[in-house]
Structure 1
Amino acid sequence: MSDIAIGTAGSSSGGFSVRTVGIVVAAGIALFLGMLVLGAYAPDLRSGRNGGAHALSNAATGFSGIVQLAQATGRDAQIVRDVRALDTEDLVVLTPETGRTDMNKVIEQRALKPTLVILPKWRTVADPEHSGWVRYRGLQPTFEPEGVLAPKNDLKIARHPSGGRPLIGLSWMPADVHFAAPRPLQTMAGADLKPLITDDQGGIVLGQIGEHPFYVLADPDLLSNIAMRDPKQARSALALLDFLNATGAKSVLFDVTLNGFGRSRTPLKLAFEPPFLAMTLAVAAAVLLAGIQATARFGAPRRRERAIAFGKTALIDNAAALVRKARRQGALGARYVDLVRERAVGVFGVPARLRDGALDAHLDGLTDRARFSDLAEQARAARDPRDMLQAAQALHRWLWEKTR
């Protein structure tokens, strides 16, 4: 009788309270935002402890030791992940790991500024027992270090046993720059290469290319972590960095962009950095306000009106109960026919002069489908409540089809 139940229905509590749902939603939003931030900055947060030959590596072939030692002795040693930071007058140390490393852009950027390129030497594999460590598998082919500066600078690499003998520096170099030769020793030779440090046979270990402060270190073991075990080698390494640096320099920069640890600019990262950060915060605030508006109702809710008022519902229910109790459902057919006929006369504007059979004949002519007289006869003949209901529904459908 009504789409809203009569009376007050018992309240039932849901499986989750409003507070619980709010906490779950807030936690989900926070985790989603955290995932976005980590996804944007994950490449920048890599530790670099992959056993490579670069300034983030703790392996024997890495250079994290000289970085930490320089910082501990008051030198401003910095690890560079952004190529834009290489535009400085301070010394920049480049550590390409293979001859296939693209050095063109960095060399062009550092052409007239103090730069030290450390050539690769060792072929290693990861140590399965210690994360970030490596095991030696021999020396790299000579074409790897030779290809670092090729083809602009044609270097020839040589290796030979050194016996740990002292290396020879220029007379005007600081006295603290006094290295013992690594074993084996890697040296180089080139047409435009000026020797700064050599071995006892004249092989160049540290050289300068051209007239600009662009230096090449043939053997990385002078500055690698393996060299930092010896206090004399470590002291000489610091003195060498000071000697190669520009006058009045404040920092020593160790580049790791060539080793795959540079900061890349992505659309997702731009959303969390100025000037786009303001727009991101504005969008987040708008979404937050929209969510609050969707969950918090402003004012009292408007209740839907009942399809049938309380008094009419009770009257209809009582009348239906009396008819069922008296078992008079079968006698309702003729009365319902009269009711539908009267409504049809008013709806279709049937002339008032038509009566009985003439009226039914006029109603039959309104459609080519079901005839009113046939439906009326079925309703009058119905005695079973089910037949009566079907006949009444057929009459109602006939009237509805005419008025729609």
Structure 2
Amino acid sequence: MSQGVAFSRGGTLALLAVGFALFLALIWLIASGDEFGGGGNNGQAHAAGKGLNGYVGLTRLLEAEGYDVTRSRSPAGLESEGLLVLTPPPATDPEELGELLRKRENIGPTLIILPKWSAERPPPILPSEVRQKFKPGWVVLTDAYELEWPTKLPAPYAFEHKLETLEADEEPGWDGFGLSGQLPTRRILFTSEKDIHEPLLFDAAGHWLALRVLGEEDSDYYQDAHWTLFLADPDFANNYGLADEARAAAMLALVREGTYQGDITDITFDLTLNGFGASENLLTLAFRPPFLAATLCLLLALLIIGWRAFQRFGPAATGNGPAIAFGKERLIANGAGLILRARRFGLLGAPYAALSARRIADRLGLARHDTGAIDAALARRLPNEEPFSRRAARLESTDRPADILSAAQALDDLTAKL
């Protein structure tokens, strides 16, 4: 009976195709990271936040305006030559942010939106029908705060971040870029005034709500550095503030300022400062330039190897190889065929008995292959076994194939027991 194969050629090809498709899907999932399934909507102030203090609305607004918006979870996004939007958290390290801003001077413009609100999940004291209306990522704004770390930024970026609460009879007005309107609350954040900074947005009292860093006149920064902009009060940019058309228009004007009046169309919102950074891995790097060419060559080589694997190089090899060498096997087959054709089965018994005597004597440690000596030694080793002489006599006395096979098997059993 011929030996079957586990899979046909078509089945093997299907397994390879499905495995390769799953491998590509794995790479895509790894590259997607937390974006797969909408991760990142944790109620904090960043580009993935859908709460009042988040900036999802700003990213969608800019996309609607024709900008190419990217939400970056990779440190490589910090090297974008387009406008980089940073939304640092309250506990930002000023030295690390200052080092990043220095690198950006020679790469591209940067817009920093400072945080303002303490946000919390809906409190349990709310009625259940109210809590059920809250969607994932929604928050309650509790209090505004000013930051200390902007004063520790390196020159020329450093400034004081201040908070002012207006009286009930004061209007929280603002103006800038030829626009004006009202802020959503009477708690306003602004910056200190410096000669090396240029104001872009003001409140009703003339405080600076947004600025552009100029640097010392005639300095290298003043002459060559890309623009860096700070938005002190994020109620122009967050989902809360963009509910007003005038504030949304002011935010678009501020972005146009950072993109050199629209000369830059690429805008990257960084999420690594907010704890959503993901390190590069070999799988995703393999499908990005300049490694993409090597990956394509490897895939092509695998395709060629797979195609050749389905082609026959020669006759199929047997699974375990011949039991004995080809020449001996042919000699035995020829001899057996000759005996079979001559019907001289009686010639097989005596030679096989003598061969068995030699094997059994060697196992018993006997110098002579004498039948009597073998029987005596067997009586000591295996007293309950039939003597060798009787088994050999039975083999030598028969000429029927079935009897020859049975007698030879008895001798082999004795050899195996020893």
Kindly indicate whether residue 72 of structure 2 is the aligned counterpart of residue 72 of structure 1: no
Whether 1:205 aligns to 2:209 is: yes
Please state whether the residue corresponding to 1:249 is helix, strand or coil: coil
Amino acid corresponding to residue 155 of structure 1 in structure 2: E
Contact preservation (8 Å) 1:99, 1:146:
no
Aligned mates of 2:263, 2:183 — CA distance in 1: 28
Query: What's 1:350 paired with?
Result: none
Partner of 2:242: 228
8 Å CA contact retained: 1:222, 1:233: yes
Superposition map of 1:234-383 within 5 A: 234-243=248-257, 245-246=259-260, 249-251=263-265, 253-257=267-271, 258-260=273-275, 264-301=279-316, 308-309=332-333, 312=336, 315=339, 369-375=365-371, 378=375, 380=389, 382=391, 383=393
Which position in structure 2 is the counterpart of 1:219? 233
Task: Pick closer, same or farther for the CA change 1:275–1:380 going to 2, 3 Å.
Answer: same
Do the aligned partners of residues 248 and 195 (structure 1) sit closer, same or farther apart at CA in structure 2, a change above 3 Å counting? Answer: closer
- Give 2:182's match in structure 1, choosing from 180, 183, 190: 180
Is the CA contact (8 Å cut-off) linking 1:77 and 1:251 kept in structure 2?
yes
| CA distances 1:176-218 after superposition (whole Å, capped 9, x unpaired) | 2x13123142323437466544434454422445546543222
Alignment of 1:70-109 (within 5 A): 70-74=62-66, 76=67, 78-79=69-70, 81=72, 82-83=76-77, 85-88=79-82, 92-100=84-92, 102-109=96-103
Contact 1:337 1:376 in 2 (8 A): no
Residue ranges of structure 2 left out of the alignment (5+ in a row)? 123-130, 216-221, 376-387, 396-405
- Aligned counterparts, 1:24-39, within 5 A: 24-39=15-30
1:22 corresponds, among 5, 13, 18, to 13
Matched position secondary structure for 1:283: helix
CA contact (8 A) 1:58 1:225 kept: yes
Q: Which of residues 112, 115, 120 is equivalent to 2:115?
A: 120
Alignment-derived partner of residue 146 in structure 1: 148
Q: Deviations over 1:309-329 (max 9, x none)?
A: 378258469969x66xxxx99
Counterpart of 1:167 (choices 173, 177, 181) is 173
What is the Cα deviation at residue 220 of structure 1? 0.6
Superposed displacement of residue 14, structure 1: 6.7
Q: Quote the Cα distance in structure 2 between the aligned partners of 1:66 and 1:204.
A: 21
Q: Distance in 2 between matches of 1:20 and 1:157?
A: 70
Alignment-mate amino acid for residue 309 of structure 1: A
Q: Please say if residues 61 and 225 of structure 1, whose CA atoms lie closer than 8 Å, have aligned partners that are also in contact.
A: yes
- Flag the 1:314–1:288 CA change in 2: closer, same or farther, 3 A: farther
Larger Rg: 1
Task: Please give the secondary structure, in 2, of the residue aligned with 1:239.
Answer: helix
User: CA separation in 1, counterparts of 2:408 and 2:277?
Assistant: 85
Give the structure 2 partner of residue 358 of structure 1: none
2:191 and 2:232 in contact (8 A); partners too: no
For residues 304 and 248 of structure 2, the distance between their equivalents in structure 1, rounded to whole angstroms, comes to 59
| TM-score, reference length from structure 1 | 0.66
The answer as to whether partners of 2:47 and 2:71 remain within 8 angstroms in 1 is no
SS in structure 2 at match of 1:55: coil
Change (3 A) 1:150 1:301: same
Q: 1:336-391 deviations in whole A, cap 9, x for unaligned? A: 566799x99xxxxxxxxxxxxxxxxxxx9x99931224346545454566887666
Native 8 Å contact 1:94 1:256 kept in 2: yes
SS of the residue corresponding to residue 134 of structure 1 reads coil
Equivalent-residue separation in structure 1 for 2:258 and 2:7 (angstroms): 68
Q: Which residue of 1 aligns with 2:398?
A: none
Asked whether the equivalents of residues 85 and 270 of structure 2 are also in contact (C-alpha less than 8 Å), the reply is no
Which SS does the other structure have where 2:16 is aligned?
helix
Q: Measure how far apart 1:96 and its partner are.
A: 1.4
Distance (whole Å) between structure 2 residues aligned to residue 168 and residue 29 of structure 1: 58
Aligned-partner Cα distance in 2 for 1:280–1:225: 42
Aligned residues: 351
- Does the CA-based 8 Å contact 2:172-2:185 persist in structure 1? no
TM-score (norm 2): 0.65
Q: In 2 relative to 1, CA 25–126 (structure 1 residues): closer, same or farther, beyond 3 Å?
A: farther
What corresponds to 1:347 in structure 2? Answer: none
* Paired residue type of 1:33: L
